[in-house]
Structure 1
Amino acid sequence: MTESHAEAIAFPFGRPDPFTPPERLAALREERPVTRMAYPDGRVGWLVTSYSAVRSILADPRFSSRRELLNVPVPFPLMQEMRRPADPGMFIRMDPPDHTRYRRLLTAQFTVRRMKQLEPRIHEITEERLDAMEKAGPPQDLVREFALPIPSLVICELLGVPYSDREEFQQATAVLLNLESAVEDIRAAVARVAAFFARLIELKRAEPADDLLSGLVTGGELTDEELGNIGFLLLAAGHETTANMLGLGTFALLQHPEQLAALRADPSLADNAVEELLRYLSIIHIGPIRAALEDVEVDGELIRAGEVVTLSVQAANRDPSRFTDPDRLDITGPASGHLTFGHGLHQCLGQQLARVEMRTAFPMLFDRFPGLRLAIPAQEVRMRDTMSIYGVRELPVRW
C-alpha cells in the first residue's frame, strides 16, 4: 500500500471528436488509474479511470454519496452551497438508512415488469412524434421534435405531471444542469421548481389520480418538501438522460453507417444496440463522485478518510481490460457490463424505463425515415460540453 505524492492534475476536458472521451483519460487509465486530482476550490482528491476500480468503489459502502462530503471536479457557481446536507427527498445524495427509505418507496414503480407494461404507450407516443415530424417535413431538429418529447411525455404520464407544463420544468432543468449558469439564474430555477411542485402536490392531494406522484402523496409517508424534491429528481432524470441518449445516439449511428445498416437489417439487435450505445457514449461524463469514510486502498493507492473521488465512467466504459476493442462502436458485439447506469445501491432507478424508450424509439425512427441524414455538416453539430449530462444541443436532420 502506498500514499501517492504524484502531482495533482486538473479534470481532463477536450474531446478529439464528439464520441471520444478526452485522450488524457485513456493515458491515465494506462499509467495510473487512481491518480491525484486538483479540485477547483484548491483541495486535492482523486480521479479513477479503470473499470475495475470504478466498479469496486461504486459497490463499496466505505465510500459515501452524502452531498456535504463531496466536491465537484469542475468550477460551479454554488460550490460552497453544495457543501451542506442534501435537501429532504434528494436521495441520490444520501447514504443508508436515509437513501434506503426513499429508494424503497420508489423501487416498485420502476420494475422490469412495470416498464414492459408501458411499452404500448411508449410505442404510441413515438408514433405520434414521427407522424408530427413527417407532417411538418424536413429539415427538423431531432432533439426538439423527437429526442426530448418522447421521454418527457412518458415521465410526465408516469408521474402525473401535465405535459403542458413541460417548458417550465425543461427550462429550469437546463439551467440547473448547465455548469456555466449564473448564480441568480440557478436560484431562480430552484424557486420555480419548488413553486411548481407545491401547486402540483396540492392538486394531487385534492384530486388524486392513477399516477406515481398521487400514490406518494396519498401514501402519507412523505412531507411536501420531500414530495417536491423527489418529484423534480425523477422528472429531471427521467427526461434529460434519455433525451440526450436519443439525440447523441442518432448522431452516432448516422456517423457509423455500417452499424446503422446492421440495425436496419436485423431489428432484433435493438436491445444490444442500446447497451452498446450506452457504453460507447457514456453521457455521464464528469462523475459520479464519492467521498471516503475511512482510509481505503484502491489499486495500491491509499485514499484517506474525507478525500473526494471522481469516478470517470466514460474512461471505465472504454477500458480494454474489460471490453474488446472498446473505442469502436459495435452493436453486434457483447455490450453488457457497462457502468453508465452506475453500480451498487445507487444504480439508476429508471434504467429499465430508459432502455424501453430507446429500444422502441431508435428502430421506429430509422424505419419511418430510411433516408435520415444530417442537415448540416457533422462538425457543425453543437455539443453539450458545458452540461453535466453530455449530448447534442440540436441535431438538424433531413430525410
Structure 2
Amino acid sequence: MKVVDAIKQRVGKFLLERTMRDGIDLRKMRFLPDNVTMPLKRDGLDPLPEMAKVRADEPVTKLATLFGKNIWLVSGYSEAREALADRDAYSNDIGQFVSQDGRSDEEQIGGLGMTDPPLHTALRRYLTPEFTMRRLARLEPEIERVVHERLDAMEAAGPDVDLVKEFAFPVPFQVICELLGLPVEDRERFFALGVARFDLTQGGSGAFGAAAHTREFLIKAVAAQRDNPGDGLIGGLIKEHGDTLDDLTLGGIADGVFLGGYETSASMLALGAYLLAENPEAMELLRGDPADREPVDRIVEELLRHLTVVQLAFLRFAKRDLELGGKQIKEGDPVAISLLGANRDPEMAGADPDTFDPHREPTRHLAFGHGMHRCVGAELARMELRIALRALAERFPDLQVTARRDDLDFRKLSAVYGVEELPVDLYGARRAAAV
C-alpha cells in the first residue's frame, strides 16, 4: 500500500508540475492529491477525526501548495462565516483555474456559485422572485402528491426496498423538474448526471464533463420553449425576460437550479432517513400533532446541521493579501471552506456537536452557506424535507435499515456526500417484534 501511495504522490507531482508549465486547468486533473481531499472524506456520517483536530489547532490551516499557490482550509465556524460574508475580500470566479479557451457554450464554466458581482447580482435577481415563500407555496401540493405517490410505490414493492432508488432520489428529481417545467419524457435523460456533477474521484475531469452534458440538455430545453413557453421556471423566465436573456444564459440559470436543488436534496433525504431509522425518538416526534410544526422544524434543522451534505462551499480566491484566523493569505490563494467542519464546531453547536440531537435548539448552521452566495433554494429544500420525512415517519414508523454501516456504499470523494443504496425493511421493527 505504501508503494502505491508513493507512486500516486510522484505521478501527482508530475501532473501538477506539467499543469503549472502548460497553464492551469482543473479539467485536466485526473485525481486530487490526498492532502487536498481530507475535508471531502468521512467516517460514516461524521468528519474524519483529523478535522476536529485541525479545527481545534488551526481553524484556518494550509492544506497544500498547488499551482504555486497556498490552498487554505477554513473549518472554524466564526472564520467560515467571516469568509463567506466578505464579498470584497474574496472572489468566486473559478475561471482563473479553468481554461475556457476553445470551449463550446455548454462547456463554459459559470453559474451563481462561480461568479462575482455584477454578473452574480444580475443572475440572482432573475431567480430570487421564483423562490419567495409565496411562490413556493404553490409547489407544496405538488410536493405532497409526489411524496405520497412514492410512498405508495414503496409499499407496493416492499417490504424490502432500496430507499435511495424508490424515494430519496425520485422525490426531489420530480419536484425540480416540475419547478423547471421539463417535459415528462425528457426527465430520465439526465437522471444520473446529478451524482457525476459532484464526483471528484477523477479529479476535475469527470465533474466538468458531466456539467457540460447537463448544461447542453438544459440549453436545448430553453430553446425548445422559446416559441411556446411552459408553466415552469424556464417558461416564466422566457415570458418575463426572453428579450434580454439568450438561451445560453437561461440554460445556465436552469442548470444552477438543477445543480442546487436535486442532488443535494436527494442526499439529505437518504441520509436523513438513515439517521431517523436509528433514532426512534425522532421518528415519534415527526409523527406528532400535525398542527405543531416546531418539532418537525427542529429535527429538519438538526439534520441539516449534522449531515451537511454539501461538504465544501464554492472555492473562494483572495482578491488581495489579507488575514483570516491569524493566518496571512496571499492574493490569489484559494480558500476552501468546510461547511461540515464549521457545523460541527462546538462554538456554534454547543455540547456534543458530533451527536444528532432532535431536541437541539436550532442553530445558525451553514448548511446552505452564508452571505450573497447562500443557496437561493434553501426554503424549497426545507419544505421538501419537512413534507417527505414526516410522511415517511407516519407511513413507515418501524423503518429499519437492513445493512450494516460498514457495508453501505458511502461516496468516497464527492462535494455532495451521500450513499449509493440504502436497503430497508419498511416494517422491520414491527416484524421483528412479531416473531
What's the TM-score, normalizing by structure 1? 0.89
Alignment-derived partner of residue 153 in structure 2: 132
Question: Which is worse superposed, 348-357 or 132-141?
Answer: 132-141
Cα distance 1:376–1:88, how it changes in 2: closer, same or farther (>3 A)?
Answer: closer
Number of the residue aligned with 1:43:
69
Kept in 2, the 8 Å contact 1:179–1:386? The answer is yes
| Residue of structure 2 aligned with 1:174, choices 195, 199, 208 | 195
CA deviations 1:317-375 (Å, max 9, x no partner) are: 01111211211111212123000100000000100000000000001001101221112
Alignment of 1:28-107 (within 5 A): 28-39=54-65, 41=67, 43-61=69-87, 62-69=89-96, 87=108, 90-107=111-128
Distance 1:380-1:103 versus aligned 2 partners, 3 A rule: same
Deviates further, 201-210 or 182-191: 182-191
Q: Counterparts of 2:35 and 2:219 in 1: how far apart (Å)?
A: 43
Shift in alpha-carbon separation, 1:14–1:204, aligned structure 2, 3 A = closer
* Pair 1:341-2:368 in alignment: yes
Partner of 1:73: none
C-alpha distance in 2 between matches for 1:195 and 1:14: 28
- Residue 38 of structure 2 is aligned to residue 12 of structure 1: yes
- Give 1:154's match in structure 2, choosing from 158, 175, 186: 175
Higher mean alpha-carbon deviation, 98-107 vs 166-175, is at 166-175
d(CA) in 2 for partners of 1:348 and 1:232?
A: 14
For residue 416 of structure 2, the aligned residue among 381, 389, 392 is 389
Q: 1:174 to 1:113 in 2, by over 3 A?
A: same
Letter in 2 for 1:210: D
Question: How far apart, in 1, do the equivalents of 2:220 and 2:286 lie?
Answer: 44
Q: Secondary structure, in 3 states, of the residue corresponding to 1:397?
A: strand
* Separation in structure 2 between the aligned mates of residue 183 and residue 321 of structure 1, nearest angstrom: 33
- Do the aligned residues in 1 keep the contact of 2:40 with 2:311 (CA within 8 Å)? no
CA RMSD of aligned residues (A): 2.6
Q: 1:44 to 1:212 in 2, by over 3 A?
A: same
Q: Percent identity among equivalent residues?
A: 39
Which secondary structure state, in structure 2, belongs to the residue aligned with residue 12 of structure 1? helix
More displaced, 151-160 or 114-123? 114-123
3-state DSSP class of the match of 1:321? helix
Alpha-carbon displacement from aligned partner over 1:17-62 (angstroms, at most 9, x marks no partner): 3121111111111111111111555632211111000001100021
Decide which of 246, 267, 272 is 1:244's aligned counterpart. Answer: 267
| Match status 1:332 vs 2:359 | yes
- In the TM superposition, residue 89 of structure 1 has moved relative to its aligned partner by 5.7
Task: Give the 5 Å matches for 1:213-362.
Answer: 213-218=234-239, 219=241, 220-265=243-288, 268=293, 269-325=295-351, 326-362=353-389
Structure 2 unaligned regions, length at least 5: 1-33, 427-435
Partner of 1:380: 407
TM-fit CA distance, 1:155: 1.0
CA–CA distance in 1 between the matches of 2:339 and 2:369?
A: 8
CA distance in 1 between partners of 2:208 and 2:70 (Å)? 28
> Residue type of the partner of 1:387?
S
Corresponding residue for 1:74? none
What letter matches 2:214 in structure 1?
V
| Equivalent in 25, 31, 34 of residue 51 of structure 2 | 25
C-alpha spacing 1:39/1:354, structure 2 compared with 1 (3 Å): farther
Contact 2:40 2:415 in 1 (8 A): no
Q: Structure 1: any 5+ residue segments left out of the alignment?
A: 1-7, 71-78
- 2:139 maps to 118
2:231 aligned counterpart, secondary structure: coil
Per-residue CA distance 1:171-206 (angstroms, 9 max, x = gap): 223223211248886676455434422432222112
Report SS of the residue matched to 1:348.
coil
Distance of 1:373 and 1:355 partners within structure 2: 24
Deviates more, 1:274-283 or 1:299-308: 299-308
Count the aligned residue pairs: 383
Shift of 1:11: 4.2
Partner of 2:226: 205
Contact 2:284 2:393 survives alignment (8 Å): no
Question: Do the aligned residues in 1 keep the contact of 2:114 with 2:314 (CA within 8 Å)?
Answer: no
Residues 153, 163 of structure 1: 8 Å contact kept: no
> In the alignment, what sits opposite 2:390?
363
**Compared CA separation, residues 213 and 332, structure 1 to 2 (3 A):** same
Aligned counterpart, 2:163: 142
Q: 1:279·1:335 contact (CA, 8 Å) conserved in 2?
A: no
